[in-house]
Amino acid sequence: MDANQIKKIYQAMSENAFSSLELELGKMNRIRLVLDSASNALVSEIVELPSEVDDKEAISNTQVEIRSDKVGTFFFAERQLKSGDRIKKGETLGMVKGISFQDRIKCSLDGEIGSVKVENGAIVDYGRLLFLVNID
């Protein structure tokens, strides 16, 4: 599934007030998308390992991806997160700033940062993977 397809699904979810959507892509591949209403960020949880992973890193079913839903410059919040840092539900992990907006990136679950996929000051596109979070 490419970023444009995910963007279309996100727009359809927003327009129709869906908070989550589960897609089954064959017997072994399921994807669950959850719209985080607090920050309007798209959080997607891979329920089972898909046959193709874009980021060349295996994602387990205990990890949640946090992706950007805007195009802009990413900045960490109060602290620069690294792998192993504990985070709490609702905590602001960073911000994506554009010309006329500043969106907070929040986590919708308690957990631990599995890996950070973005650097402070990096330009991010829609759908860019920012963090992998190991959920509790």
* Paired residues of 50 in beta bridges: none
Query: Amino acid identity of 131?
Result: F
Instruction: Tell me the CB-side half-sphere exposure of residue 125, using CA atoms within 13 A.
Output: 6
Looking at the structure, give the CATH architecture of the domain made up of residues 3-135: Beta Barrel (2.40)
**pLDDT tens, residue by residue, 47-88:** 444 445 455 454 445 788 899 988 999 999 888 999 999 999
User: What ranges do the domains of the chain cover?
Assistant: 3-135
Q: How many CA atoms lie within 13 A of 69 on its CB side?
A: 26
Summarize pLDDT for 102-128 with one digit per residue, the tens. 999 988 888 999 999 999 999 999 889
Q: Which two tokens stand for residue 72?
A: 């802009």
pLDDT of residue 18: 67
pLDDT band at 96 (very low <50, low <70, confident <90, very high): very high
